Amino acid sequence: MAICQFFLQGRCRFGDRCWNEHPGARGAGGGRQQPQQQLSGASTNRNEGFGLPENPFASQPEEQKDEKKLLEGIVKDMEVWESSGQWIFSVYSPVKKKPNISGFTDISPEELRLEYQNFLTSNNLQSYVNSVQRLINQWRNRVNELKSLNISTKVALLSDVKDGVNQAAPAFGFGSSQAATFVSPGFPVNNSSNDNAQNFSFKTNSGFATASSGSPAVLGSSPAFGAAASVSSAISTSAPAFGFGKPEITSAASFSFKSPADSSFGSPGFSGLTTSLATGPISAPVAPAFGGGSSVVGSGSPGSHSHTAFSKPSNDTFGNSSISTSFSAPSSIIATDNVLFTPRDKLTVQELEQFQSKKFTLGKIPLKPPPLELLNI
Protein backbone atom coordinates (compact mmCIF):
# COMPACT_ATOMS: atom_id res chain seq x y z
CA MET A 1 0.00 0.00 0.00
CA ALA A 2 1.05 3.51 -0.53
CA ILE A 3 2.30 5.29 2.50
CA CYS A 4 0.01 8.07 3.52
CA GLN A 5 1.77 11.38 3.17
CA PHE A 6 -0.67 13.17 5.41
CA PHE A 7 -0.14 10.65 8.12
CA LEU A 8 3.54 11.30 7.98
CA GLN A 9 2.86 14.94 8.47
CA GLY A 10 0.57 14.12 11.29
CA ARG A 11 -2.60 15.27 9.65
CA CYS A 12 -4.37 12.35 8.08
CA ARG A 13 -8.05 13.00 8.20
CA PHE A 14 -9.12 9.40 7.84
CA GLY A 15 -7.17 7.94 10.62
CA ASP A 16 -7.77 4.24 10.81
CA ARG A 17 -10.08 4.37 7.89
CA CYS A 18 -7.39 5.66 5.63
CA TRP A 19 -6.77 3.49 2.64
CA ASN A 20 -3.10 4.25 2.62
CA GLU A 21 -0.64 2.78 4.97
CA HIS A 22 0.16 4.48 8.23
CA PRO A 23 3.55 3.26 9.26
CA GLY A 24 3.78 2.68 12.99
CA ALA A 25 0.10 3.03 13.77
CA ARG A 26 -1.78 -0.18 13.67
CA GLY A 27 -5.37 -0.58 12.71
CA ALA A 28 -5.81 -2.44 15.96
CA GLY A 29 -8.20 0.16 17.20
CA GLY A 30 -10.95 -1.69 15.47
CA GLY A 31 -13.87 -0.39 13.58
CA ARG A 32 -15.76 0.39 16.71
CA GLN A 33 -13.33 3.01 17.72
CA GLN A 34 -12.90 4.59 14.42
CA PRO A 35 -15.96 6.77 14.37
CA GLN A 36 -15.12 7.87 17.84
CA GLN A 37 -11.65 8.62 16.77
CA GLN A 38 -12.77 10.78 13.96
CA LEU A 39 -15.34 12.52 16.04
CA SER A 40 -13.03 13.15 18.87
CA GLY A 41 -10.40 14.25 16.48
CA ALA A 42 -12.79 16.68 14.96
CA SER A 43 -13.96 18.06 18.22
CA THR A 44 -10.53 18.49 19.61
CA ASN A 45 -9.69 20.35 16.51
CA ARG A 46 -12.51 22.66 17.11
CA ASN A 47 -11.55 23.11 20.67
CA GLU A 48 -7.94 23.71 20.13
CA GLY A 49 -7.73 25.29 16.80
CA PHE A 50 -4.67 23.26 15.98
CA GLY A 51 -4.54 20.81 13.17
CA LEU A 52 -4.04 17.67 15.17
CA PRO A 53 -6.40 14.95 14.04
CA GLU A 54 -4.03 12.23 14.99
CA ASN A 55 -0.75 11.79 16.62
CA PRO A 56 1.27 9.60 14.35
CA PHE A 57 3.82 8.90 17.01
CA ALA A 58 1.52 7.49 19.66
CA SER A 59 2.30 3.92 20.33
CA GLN A 60 -1.24 2.59 20.34
CA PRO A 61 -4.35 3.83 18.62
CA GLU A 62 -6.39 2.93 21.69
CA GLU A 63 -4.15 4.86 23.93
CA GLN A 64 -4.57 7.77 21.60
CA LYS A 65 -8.29 7.57 21.80
CA ASP A 66 -8.27 7.27 25.54
CA GLU A 67 -6.01 10.22 25.77
CA LYS A 68 -8.20 12.21 23.49
CA LYS A 69 -11.23 11.40 25.53
CA LEU A 70 -9.40 12.25 28.66
CA LEU A 71 -8.31 15.56 27.32
CA GLU A 72 -11.74 16.38 26.10
CA GLY A 73 -13.11 15.49 29.45
CA ILE A 74 -10.65 17.83 31.02
CA VAL A 75 -11.62 20.66 28.75
CA LYS A 76 -15.26 20.15 29.50
CA ASP A 77 -14.65 19.95 33.20
CA MET A 78 -12.70 23.16 33.10
CA GLU A 79 -15.50 24.90 31.33
CA VAL A 80 -18.00 23.67 33.85
CA TRP A 81 -15.74 24.64 36.70
CA GLU A 82 -15.47 28.15 35.45
CA SER A 83 -19.10 28.69 34.73
CA SER A 84 -20.61 26.95 37.69
CA GLY A 85 -19.39 29.07 40.54
CA GLN A 86 -17.82 26.08 42.22
CA TRP A 87 -15.26 26.41 44.90
CA ILE A 88 -12.10 27.38 43.12
CA PHE A 89 -9.37 26.19 45.39
CA SER A 90 -9.68 22.54 44.81
CA VAL A 91 -7.55 19.89 43.26
CA TYR A 92 -8.87 18.17 40.23
CA SER A 93 -8.46 14.88 38.54
CA PRO A 94 -9.89 14.06 35.15
CA VAL A 95 -10.99 10.55 35.93
CA LYS A 96 -12.10 9.35 39.29
CA LYS A 97 -9.30 7.05 40.16
CA LYS A 98 -6.47 8.93 38.61
CA PRO A 99 -4.06 11.15 40.44
CA ASN A 100 -4.54 14.87 40.60
CA ILE A 101 -3.59 17.16 37.82
CA SER A 102 -0.84 19.48 38.83
CA GLY A 103 -1.38 23.17 39.07
CA PHE A 104 -4.26 23.17 41.47
CA THR A 105 -4.00 23.47 45.18
CA ASP A 106 -6.46 22.37 47.76
CA ILE A 107 -7.65 25.02 50.16
CA SER A 108 -10.74 24.38 52.16
CA PRO A 109 -13.18 27.19 52.86
CA GLU A 110 -12.40 26.92 56.55
CA GLU A 111 -8.73 27.41 55.95
CA LEU A 112 -9.41 30.43 53.83
CA ARG A 113 -11.70 31.85 56.40
CA LEU A 114 -9.19 31.30 59.13
CA GLU A 115 -6.65 33.20 57.06
CA TYR A 116 -9.16 35.98 56.73
CA GLN A 117 -9.67 36.09 60.45
CA ASN A 118 -5.98 36.12 61.15
CA PHE A 119 -5.41 38.94 58.76
CA LEU A 120 -8.37 40.75 60.20
CA THR A 121 -6.92 40.71 63.65
CA SER A 122 -3.60 41.93 62.40
CA ASN A 123 -5.43 44.62 60.48
CA ASN A 124 -3.91 43.44 57.30
CA LEU A 125 -6.91 42.67 55.22
CA GLN A 126 -5.42 44.08 52.10
CA SER A 127 -2.70 41.48 51.97
CA TYR A 128 -5.31 38.79 52.47
CA VAL A 129 -7.27 40.17 49.58
CA ASN A 130 -4.14 40.34 47.50
CA SER A 131 -3.10 36.81 48.17
CA VAL A 132 -6.55 35.53 47.46
CA GLN A 133 -6.53 37.45 44.23
CA ARG A 134 -3.21 35.95 43.34
CA LEU A 135 -4.49 32.47 44.00
CA ILE A 136 -7.51 33.15 41.88
CA ASN A 137 -5.35 34.38 39.06
CA GLN A 138 -3.17 31.33 39.25
CA TRP A 139 -6.20 29.16 39.12
CA ARG A 140 -7.61 31.03 36.20
CA ASN A 141 -4.38 30.77 34.28
CA ARG A 142 -4.18 27.10 34.87
CA VAL A 143 -7.77 26.57 33.85
CA ASN A 144 -7.26 28.53 30.67
CA GLU A 145 -4.20 26.52 29.92
CA LEU A 146 -6.07 23.33 30.34
CA LYS A 147 -8.90 24.61 28.26
CA SER A 148 -6.77 25.67 25.39
CA LEU A 149 -4.82 22.45 25.48
CA ASN A 150 -1.65 23.30 23.68
CA ILE A 151 0.66 20.51 22.76
CA SER A 152 2.94 20.95 25.69
CA THR A 153 0.04 21.14 28.12
CA LYS A 154 -1.23 17.92 26.71
CA VAL A 155 2.05 16.19 27.01
CA ALA A 156 2.47 17.35 30.56
CA LEU A 157 -1.08 16.38 31.42
CA LEU A 158 -0.70 12.94 30.07
CA SER A 159 2.45 12.40 31.99
CA ASP A 160 0.71 13.74 35.08
CA VAL A 161 -2.09 11.35 34.67
CA LYS A 162 0.19 8.43 34.10
CA ASP A 163 2.88 9.06 36.58
CA GLY A 164 0.90 10.98 39.08
CA VAL A 165 1.77 14.23 40.65
CA ASN A 166 1.69 13.81 44.33
CA GLN A 167 2.79 16.97 45.88
CA ALA A 168 0.89 19.77 47.36
CA ALA A 169 2.90 22.13 45.34
CA PRO A 170 1.69 22.61 41.89
CA ALA A 171 4.42 21.12 39.87
CA PHE A 172 4.36 20.68 36.24
CA GLY A 173 7.12 18.52 35.22
CA PHE A 174 8.01 16.68 32.21
CA GLY A 175 8.22 13.15 33.26
CA SER A 176 10.75 10.80 32.02
CA SER A 177 8.38 9.55 29.44
CA GLN A 178 8.89 12.73 27.60
CA ALA A 179 12.57 12.51 27.88
CA ALA A 180 12.61 9.46 25.77
CA THR A 181 10.79 11.12 22.97
CA PHE A 182 13.10 14.00 22.94
CA VAL A 183 16.29 12.19 22.94
CA SER A 184 15.53 9.42 20.57
CA PRO A 185 15.24 11.11 17.24
CA GLY A 186 18.12 13.29 18.19
CA PHE A 187 21.04 14.41 16.29
CA PRO A 188 24.02 12.61 17.66
CA VAL A 189 26.18 15.59 17.14
CA ASN A 190 24.53 17.42 19.91
CA ASN A 191 25.34 14.90 22.52
CA SER A 192 28.88 15.87 22.57
CA SER A 193 28.12 19.28 23.85
CA ASN A 194 26.41 17.90 26.90
CA ASP A 195 29.25 18.68 29.15
CA ASN A 196 29.55 22.15 27.96
CA ALA A 197 25.96 22.65 28.75
CA GLN A 198 26.45 21.72 32.34
CA ASN A 199 28.42 24.77 33.13
CA PHE A 200 25.63 27.08 32.51
CA SER A 201 23.45 27.82 35.40
CA PHE A 202 19.89 28.12 34.64
CA LYS A 203 19.75 31.71 35.41
CA THR A 204 20.15 32.35 31.80
CA ASN A 205 17.54 29.85 31.10
CA SER A 206 15.24 31.57 33.41
CA GLY A 207 15.91 34.79 31.70
CA PHE A 208 14.88 33.09 28.61
CA ALA A 209 11.77 31.94 30.28
CA THR A 210 10.65 35.35 31.22
CA ALA A 211 10.98 36.38 27.70
CA SER A 212 9.20 33.47 26.30
CA SER A 213 5.83 32.58 27.52
CA GLY A 214 6.63 28.95 27.07
CA SER A 215 7.40 27.34 23.85
CA PRO A 216 5.76 24.13 22.95
CA ALA A 217 7.29 24.41 19.60
CA VAL A 218 10.72 24.72 20.96
CA LEU A 219 10.00 21.80 23.11
CA GLY A 220 8.98 19.95 20.10
CA SER A 221 12.21 20.83 18.57
CA SER A 222 14.16 19.15 21.20
CA PRO A 223 14.38 15.91 19.36
CA ALA A 224 16.91 17.72 17.39
CA PHE A 225 18.61 18.72 20.52
CA GLY A 226 19.04 15.74 22.60
CA ALA A 227 21.79 17.56 24.32
CA ALA A 228 19.76 20.63 24.61
CA ALA A 229 17.60 18.98 27.14
CA SER A 230 20.59 17.84 29.01
CA VAL A 231 21.49 21.40 29.65
CA SER A 232 18.71 21.44 32.06
CA SER A 233 20.48 18.85 34.05
CA ALA A 234 22.41 21.74 35.39
CA ILE A 235 19.18 22.89 36.77
CA SER A 236 18.49 21.13 39.96
CA THR A 237 15.18 22.50 40.97
CA SER A 238 11.81 22.35 39.42
CA ALA A 239 9.50 25.11 38.48
CA PRO A 240 5.90 24.70 39.34
CA ALA A 241 3.77 25.89 36.54
CA PHE A 242 6.72 26.81 34.54
CA GLY A 243 8.03 23.46 33.88
CA PHE A 244 7.00 23.99 30.36
CA GLY A 245 9.32 26.79 30.02
CA LYS A 246 12.43 25.10 31.08
CA PRO A 247 13.09 22.40 28.66
CA GLU A 248 12.50 24.81 25.93
CA ILE A 249 14.66 27.29 27.56
CA THR A 250 17.41 24.88 27.88
CA SER A 251 17.07 23.70 24.40
CA ALA A 252 17.08 27.23 23.26
CA ALA A 253 20.07 27.90 25.35
CA SER A 254 21.85 25.10 23.75
CA PHE A 255 21.37 26.66 20.43
CA SER A 256 23.90 29.16 21.27
CA PHE A 257 26.45 26.67 22.38
CA LYS A 258 26.53 24.75 19.25
CA SER A 259 28.06 26.06 16.19
CA PRO A 260 25.30 27.29 14.01
CA ALA A 261 26.32 24.92 11.32
CA ASP A 262 25.46 21.94 13.46
CA SER A 263 22.10 22.82 14.63
CA SER A 264 19.15 22.70 12.39
CA PHE A 265 17.98 25.79 14.13
CA GLY A 266 19.61 28.89 13.00
CA SER A 267 21.62 30.70 15.53
CA PRO A 268 20.73 34.28 14.80
CA GLY A 269 17.85 34.20 17.14
CA PHE A 270 20.02 33.16 19.95
CA SER A 271 23.08 35.17 19.52
CA GLY A 272 21.92 37.42 22.24
CA LEU A 273 21.67 34.49 24.48
CA THR A 274 25.14 33.41 23.68
CA THR A 275 26.56 36.54 25.09
CA SER A 276 24.64 36.24 28.23
CA LEU A 277 25.67 32.71 28.66
CA ALA A 278 29.19 33.67 28.16
CA THR A 279 28.94 35.91 31.13
CA GLY A 280 29.11 32.83 33.17
CA PRO A 281 27.12 31.23 35.87
CA ILE A 282 24.75 33.40 37.66
CA SER A 283 23.93 32.99 41.28
CA ALA A 284 21.13 30.78 42.11
CA PRO A 285 18.52 32.44 44.27
CA VAL A 286 15.90 32.72 41.66
CA ALA A 287 16.76 29.38 40.28
CA PRO A 288 14.21 27.66 42.43
CA ALA A 289 11.53 29.13 40.32
CA PHE A 290 12.50 26.97 37.46
CA GLY A 291 12.58 23.35 37.74
CA GLY A 292 14.65 20.92 35.87
CA GLY A 293 11.77 18.88 34.76
CA SER A 294 13.48 18.21 31.56
CA SER A 295 16.60 17.36 33.35
CA VAL A 296 15.22 13.93 33.26
CA VAL A 297 15.80 13.97 29.63
CA GLY A 298 19.47 13.94 29.16
CA SER A 299 20.93 13.11 32.46
CA GLY A 300 18.22 10.93 33.72
CA SER A 301 18.10 12.82 36.95
CA PRO A 302 14.69 12.45 38.44
CA GLY A 303 12.94 15.64 37.66
CA SER A 304 10.00 14.70 39.76
CA HIS A 305 11.96 14.84 42.97
CA SER A 306 12.73 18.40 42.48
CA HIS A 307 9.12 19.21 42.22
CA THR A 308 8.53 18.60 45.83
CA ALA A 309 10.75 21.42 46.81
CA PHE A 310 8.36 23.94 45.60
CA SER A 311 5.25 25.29 47.00
CA LYS A 312 3.01 27.94 45.69
CA PRO A 313 5.20 30.88 46.43
CA SER A 314 7.53 29.88 43.71
CA ASN A 315 4.83 30.69 41.26
CA ASP A 316 4.76 34.11 42.66
CA THR A 317 8.44 34.57 42.38
CA PHE A 318 8.19 33.76 38.81
CA GLY A 319 5.36 36.08 38.26
CA ASN A 320 7.16 38.87 39.95
CA SER A 321 9.90 38.61 37.44
CA SER A 322 12.40 38.73 40.19
CA ILE A 323 14.36 36.67 37.84
CA SER A 324 14.85 39.40 35.42
CA THR A 325 16.20 41.63 38.07
CA SER A 326 18.89 39.25 39.00
CA PHE A 327 20.81 39.54 35.88
CA SER A 328 21.11 42.21 33.37
CA ALA A 329 22.21 40.36 30.34
CA PRO A 330 19.13 38.24 30.00
CA SER A 331 16.96 41.21 30.48
CA SER A 332 18.32 42.53 27.31
CA ILE A 333 17.12 39.39 25.73
CA ILE A 334 13.73 39.97 27.13
CA ALA A 335 13.61 43.33 25.58
CA THR A 336 14.43 42.16 22.14
CA ASP A 337 11.62 39.82 21.44
CA ASN A 338 12.17 39.56 17.79
CA VAL A 339 15.61 38.19 18.34
CA LEU A 340 14.29 35.24 20.20
CA PHE A 341 11.07 34.67 18.42
CA THR A 342 9.87 35.28 14.99
CA PRO A 343 6.64 37.07 14.60
CA ARG A 344 4.04 34.72 13.31
CA ASP A 345 3.60 36.41 10.00
CA LYS A 346 7.24 35.93 9.17
CA LEU A 347 7.00 32.19 9.29
CA THR A 348 6.09 30.19 6.29
CA VAL A 349 3.04 28.03 6.47
CA GLN A 350 5.12 24.94 6.67
CA GLU A 351 7.23 26.27 9.50
CA LEU A 352 4.15 27.34 11.37
CA GLU A 353 2.76 23.91 10.96
CA GLN A 354 5.91 22.38 12.30
CA PHE A 355 5.80 24.53 15.36
CA GLN A 356 2.25 23.63 15.97
CA SER A 357 2.66 19.94 15.66
CA LYS A 358 3.63 17.76 18.53
CA LYS A 359 7.00 16.87 17.07
CA PHE A 360 9.13 18.10 14.33
CA THR A 361 9.29 15.91 11.32
CA LEU A 362 12.73 15.17 10.07
CA GLY A 363 13.75 17.30 7.24
CA LYS A 364 11.15 19.93 7.97
CA ILE A 365 12.48 21.53 11.09
CA PRO A 366 12.27 25.29 10.81
CA LEU A 367 15.40 27.30 10.96
CA LYS A 368 13.76 30.24 12.63
CA PRO A 369 12.82 30.36 16.29
CA PRO A 370 9.16 29.91 17.12
CA PRO A 371 6.70 32.75 17.41
CA LEU A 372 5.82 34.15 20.78
CA GLU A 373 2.17 33.32 20.45
CA LEU A 374 2.75 29.64 20.24
CA LEU A 375 4.79 29.48 23.38
CA ASN A 376 2.95 28.47 26.41
CA ILE A 377 3.81 28.70 30.03
Partner 1 sequence: MRMCCRLATFFFDDFRATQEVAAGRMRSASAVVRTVSTAGLEDFGLLGFLPALLGFLPALLALALLAGARSQTPQTLLLPAAAFRRGETPRVKMSLFGTTSGFGTSGTSMFGSTTTDNHNPMKDIEVTSSPDDSIGCLSFSPPTLPGNFLIAGSWANDVRCWEVQDSGQTIPKAQQMHTGPVLDVCWSDDGSKVFTASCDKTAKMWDLSSNQAIQIAQHDAPVKTIHWIKAPNYSCVMTGSWDKTLKFWDTRSSNPMMVLQLPERCYCADVIYPMAVVATAERGLIVYQLENQPSEFRRIESPLKHQHRCVAIFKDKQNKPTGFALGSIEGRVAIHYINPPNPAKDNFTFKCHRSNGTNTSAPQDIYAVNGIAFHPVHGTLATVGSDGRFSFWDKDARTKLKTSEQLDQPISACCFNHNGNIFAYASSYDWSKGHEFYNPQKKNYIFLRNAAEELKPRNKK
Which residues are within 8 A (CB) of 249 and not within 5 positions of it... i.e. 6 or more apart?
202, 205, 206, 208, 209, 212, 232, 290
**Minimum CB distance to partner 1 smaller for 14 or for 92:** 92
Alpha carbon distances (Å) from 117 to 49, 112, 121, 123: 45, 9, 6, 10
Q: How far is CA 34 from the centre of its chain?
A: 29
Q: Does 106 bind partner 1 (CB under 8 A)?
A: yes
Of the candidate residues 62, 77, 316, 337, the single one contacting partner 1 (CB under 8 A): 77
- 121 touches partner 1 by CB under 8 A: no
Torsion angle, CA of 310/311/315/318, rounded to 10 degrees?
A: -40
Total residues in contact with partner 1, by rule CB under 8 A: 32
Amino acid at 45: N
- Judged by CB under 8 A, does residue 112 bind partner 1? yes
CA distance 189 to 211: 28
Contact between 128 and partner 1 per CB under 8 A? yes
- Binding partner 1 (rule: CB under 8 A), the pick from 3, 39, 114, 278 is 114
Contacts of 97 (CB under 8 A, 6+ apart): none
Residue 89 engages partner 1 in binding (rule: CB under 8 A): yes
With CB under 8 A as the contact rule, which of the stretches 38-46, 107-115, 138-146, 258-266 interacts with partner 1?
A: 107-115
Q: How far is the CB of 105 from partner 1 (least distance, A)?
A: 9
Candidate segments 57-65, 106-114, 239-247, 291-299, binder of partner 1 by CB under 8 A: 106-114
User: Can residue 100 be called a binding residue for partner 1 (CB under 8 A)?
Assistant: yes
Q: How many residues does the chain have?
A: 377
Distance CA 203, CA 225 (A): 20
Q: Which of residues 230-259 bind partner 1 (CB under 8 A)?
A: none
Give the DSSP H or E segment for 31: helix 30-48
Q: Does 173 bind partner 1 (CB under 8 A)?
A: no
Would you count residue 14 as binding partner 1 (CB under 8 A)? no
According to CB under 8 A, which one of 21, 111, 195, 373 is a site residue for partner 1?
A: 111
List of residues contacting partner 1 (CB under 8 A): 77, 80, 83-87, 89-97, 100, 106, 108-114, 116-117, 128-129, 132, 166, 168
